[in-house]
């Protein structure tokens, strides 16, 4: 995998936005997993 460095401000901003998006996606997945676990426990009356 090649790593390229671009000093273009627009590219840097886009990278920051994508990083924020990945963080939001990770947190949403955690919340979804937690909800699934809770619903499974409630439905099995644990």
pLDDT of 5 over the 70 cut = no
Residues ≥6 apart with Cβ < 8 Å to 6:
12
Cα–Cα distances (Å) from 1 to 4, 42, 46, in that order, read 10, 46, 47
pLDDT of 6 over the 80 cut = no
Residue-wise pLDDT for 7-46, tens only, equals 566 656 666 668 888 999 999 999 999 999 999 999 998 6
CA distance 33 to 27: 10
pLDDT of residue 41: 94
Domain residue limits, the chain: 20-45
Helix residue ranges per DSSP H, 1-46: 9-43
CA distance 10 to 6: 10
Higher pLDDT, 5 or 26: 26
Tell me which residue of 15, 43, 41, 37 sits closest to 6, measured CA to CA. Answer: 15
């Amino acid at each position: 995998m090649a790593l390229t460095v671009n000093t273009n401000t627009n590219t840097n901003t886009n990278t920051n936005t994508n990083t924020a998006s990945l963080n939001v996606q990770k947190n949403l997945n955690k919340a979804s997993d937690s909800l699934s676990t809770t619903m499974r426990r409630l439905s099995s009356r644990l």
